[in-house]
Chains A and B, each alone.
Chain A
Amino acid sequence: MDKVMSNKKMIALYVLPSLLLIMAVVYIPIVLTGYYGLNEWNGIGAMKFVGLDNYSALIQDDNFWSSAGHSLLLAVFSALSLILYLIVAMVLSARLKGSNLFRKIYLIPMLLSSVAIAQLWLKIYHPTNGIMNSFLESIGVANPPAWLAEPSLVLFALFIPILWQYAGFYILIYYAALKNIPTSLEEAAKIDGANAFQIAYKIKLPLAMEVIKVTIVLAVVGSLKYFDLIYVMTDGGPNGASEVMASYMYHQAFRAYDFGYGSAVGFFLLVICLIATWIIRKMTVTKDTIQYS
């Protein structure tokens, strides 16, 4: 068995094409981004090597840290919302009448492009004739807030469409993971007198654990580099209240023509993602050993 499964030629054949592709298409840009970050460069003229100047400026840049704070907050919210997605997936994967139809309907929003989602939520949040404020006014709330113009509210107002946008993605993964659990295990538990909650908690959850761990990493990394809806809906405003790391990177590089500094932000973002992933791996591994010991 071991001999067949450690055949170097086969391993190379399976892994190398993809690895080479990633190296060329993703790693060259990563390395170059790191390099641009060491230069003063407007993206057009000549580069001027400045060493770690951009990074030391970054460390002292309040605007960057507040955008990093917003990204981290989004990451925490995304990770927490996984619980909700998991519950929905559990309900959908149960042998419920019509669950097949419900599953399809629930996943439809994920087909929409960000352009459509942004427009939809702009209409929901519109300060005077948006769905949200029309509703609030109809139940007697006087002068409801302008959701996207209020620095203290804007970030949370944006989280809702972002979490909604990704719901389908995670529900789909969880659904597939739960459906992958052999029905025989569930049947056996039922015979032993376990109820639905016990089956969910004691059988389904542990068996889907590997998938759940992966989704935590995906949710956190995805949130840390999140850009789409924020860019369209608020462009980081008002007064930078919804600026996140990726939009800050974009503003520096493409708006302020400071490609060196923008690249430093991009590279720093990658480092933060790495640290976050490392922490998650550590945490989930510990959890694992407790569960199975």
Chain B
Amino acid sequence: MTSTTAGQLGGASRGKGSSVLLKLGYALLYIVLIVVAALQLFPLVWLLFFSLKSNQEVFNLPPLSLPTNPRWENYGKVWSAGNIDTYFLNSVWITVVATALTVVLGSLVTYAITRMKWKGSSLVLGLFMVAMMIPVHSTLIPLFSMFNKAGLIDHPLSLILTYVAFNMPITIMILLGFYYALPREVEEAAIIDGCSVNRMFFQIVLPMTGSVIATTSIINMIYNWNEFIFVNTFISSDSFKTLTVGVQNFIGQYTTDWGAIGATLMISILPILVAFLFLSDRIVEGMAAGSVKG
């Protein structure tokens, strides 16, 4: 994004009189954009301050005030509370594996549904769509007894299978909108060249959908990273629990240590923030890569 391209938004066909108006419009637009950006950054700043407060200060001080004695020890408390490193690693690998599986499998299904010709494709699509309509709490008891019988309770596979299955429908739905818009010409040419379905999918279609893959990856990643109901229900050993459980360490029978919870949330948001910033750029790159080949 360079400054020369900034002006292109308004089009070239305007006279001099409206250019003042145009500049005013831009100024206004930027003011709005900056104000909104400040509002969107506010939660992060708030969370940082929140994590440095004691329970007294959390409730007594205005949300955006820094406590007089920032309690950095909240972070120490969180870190020393045991197992957080295990939880952290579990969060990372379970999130990565589940996200990758969901996006790859979801892409395969979407490809088959939108591009291949077969009876029952709309029925299958319907089946996937219905699967996102069940409230999570209805599924806990049946899923627990199922995994229990399969011997998968207290096993990370129960989490991965659940995450993939529950995020698959929404992933497919999002992919769907993009796949419909993909030009068919490239594929047609490839088939004439004798390209197989697999090669076409992995070498032509997947790269073309880079931006939506980045999008769905971000969404899946956030969902999996923040999930805690299934973790609590299926996992009982500390060695398989994830970071979201760390928050619970500070919710007591009668009192809650809010500052420590803030610190846990702050620690757990950092890796996903980094991953997000990285993937977020891939949205644009993916688009560029796609348009070169398209």
Contact = CB atoms under 8 A, between A and B. Distances in A.
A106 B36 contact: yes
B5 A95 contact: yes
A172 B215 contact: yes
Nearest to B10: A196
B63 A106 contact: no
Interface in B96-123: 105-106, 108-109, 111-113, 115-118
B202 to A, nearest CB: 12
Interface in B140-183: 141-143, 146, 161-162, 164-166, 168-170, 173-174, 176-178, 180-181
A56 B182 CA distance: 48
Nearest to A175: B283
- The residue in B218, B265, B269 that gathers the most chain A C-beta atoms within 10 A of its C-beta is B218
A225 B244 contact: no
Interface string B35-57: 01100110110110010000000
Contacts of A97: 1-3, 6
Contact of A18 (B43, B59, B106, B214): B106
A61 B161 CA distance: 36
Contact of A1 (B173, B191, B198): B191
Interface stretch (B67-75, B76-84, B127-135): B127-135
B244 A113 contact: yes
Interface string B195-212: 011100100000000011
Interface in A105-122: 105-117, 119-120
B43 A109 contact: yes
Interface stretch (A72-80, A139-147, A206-214, A234-242): A206-214
A249 B222 contact: no
A14 interface: yes
Contact of B112 (A14, A21, A172, A208): A14
B252 interface: no
Nearest to A25: B165
Nearest to A231: B137
Contacts of B12: 190
Contact of A113 (B6, B130, B215, B226): B226
Contact of A116 (B43, B215, B218): B43
Contact of A104 (B135, B211, B226, B280): B280
A59 interface: no
Contacts of A91: 29, 33
B146 A24 contact: yes
B116 A115 contact: no
A274 B130 contact: yes
B31 interface: no
Contact of A218 (B13, B115, B173): B173
B1 A10 contact: no
A64 interface: no
Majority secondary structure, B binding face: helix
B153 to A, nearest CB: 14
B133 A274 contact: yes
B291 interface: yes
B33 A29 contact: no
B255 to A, nearest CB: 15
Given A26-B134, A108-B43, A131 B177 contact: no
A65 interface: no
Interface residues of B, number: 106
B27 interface: no
A172 B128 CA distance: 22
B6 A111 contact: no
B101 to A, nearest CB: 9
A274 B269 CA distance: 35
Nearest to B288: A179
A105 B115 CA distance: 36
Contact of B6 (A19, A95, A115): A95
B11 interface: yes
B9 interface: yes
B85 interface: no
B253 interface: no
B283 A96 contact: no
B135 A269 contact: yes
A217 to B, nearest CB: 7
B176 A111 contact: no
Nearest to A249: B135
B200 to A, nearest CB: 8
12 contacts: A6-B118, A10-B198, A22-B128, A22-B169, A91-B33, A94-B9, A97-B3, A112-B269, A116-B47, A131-B62, A180-B178, A211-B178
10 pairs of A and B residues whose beta carbons are closest in the complex:
A211-B177, A266-B138, A25-B165, A273-B133, A29-B139, A29-B142, A113-B226, A14-B112, A32-B142, A14-B108
Interface of A: 1-2, 4-8, 10-11, 14-15, 17-19, 21-22, 24-30, 32-33, 36, 43, 88, 91, 94-100, 102-117, 119-120, 123-124, 129, 131, 134, 169, 172-173, 175-177, 179-180, 182-183, 190, 193-196, 199, 207-208, 210-215, 217-218, 221, 224-225, 227, 245-246, 249-250, 253-254, 259, 262-263, 266-267, 269-270, 273-274, 277
Given A32-B141, A95-B9, A211-B178, 12 more contacts: A22-B168, A96-B1, A97-B2, A105-B37, A109-B40, A172-B218, A177-B181, A179-B283, A180-B178, A193-B13, A221-B133, A274-B130
